[in-house]
Amino acid sequence: MNRAMWTAVRTCLVLTVLTGILYPLAVWGAGRLFFASQAEGSLVVRNGRVIGSRLLAQAFHNPRYFHPRPSATDYDGTRSGATNLSPTSNRLVHGDPASHFLGVEQLAEQVRRENNLPPNAPVPVDAVTRSASGLDPAISIAYANLQARRIARARGIGVAIVRECIAKATTGRFLGIFGEPCVNVLKANLLLDNTR
């Protein structure tokens, strides 16, 4: 082989070792050392058993708990995805009975019924729309507050206790400026279970 070929082969081997082995090992090691919980999926363990992740929504239908946003994937963490329907889509707004797809209208009726609200009462947008991933673990403070009376009634506790759980499960804006404050549903529900 000529000299240029050997240089190319050596460069390829060195870069393969650096970028294909050493760099991934360094990132993995740093993640395990400095961000152990996040590297493991931000799992929530209760009584020695994994019950969920702070990063993924899961279905809660019991009236004693906060309910998450609707999901296009039925809260299946292996199938992250959205409906990909435009805001002007007839199917998004009115639903599709043939495929059992609930539209914004049906979801709003369901939220009103579950929370004992009058017909046509406004509901927060995240209560009736699916997130881009279908697995958003958080809801707006408005949606959490809308559910507070139902939860208090179902648990036989004061609304103030439920609102205290909302406050403790609320995270602020990222870096103080990006996004909106939101409530982590799993954390809020675990706080509810710890109230007496």
Contact 133, 69 (CB under 8 A): no
Q: Is the pLDDT of residue 51 over 90?
A: no
Average pLDDT value for residue range 138-159: 95
In DSSP notation, 79-108 reads: S-------TT-HHHHH-BGGGTB--HHHHH
Q: Mean pLDDT check: name the lowest of 48-52, 67-71, 119-123.
A: 48-52
In this prediction, residue 89 carries a pLDDT of 87
Higher pLDDT, 195 or 196: 195
State the residue range of the domain holding 28. 3-39
Residues 62 and 99 occupy one common structural domain:
yes
User: What's the pLDDT band for 16 if we cut at 50, 70, 90?
Assistant: very high
Residues 22, 113 share a domain: no
- In terms of domains, do 107 and 130 share one? yes
What is the domain count for the chain?
A: 2
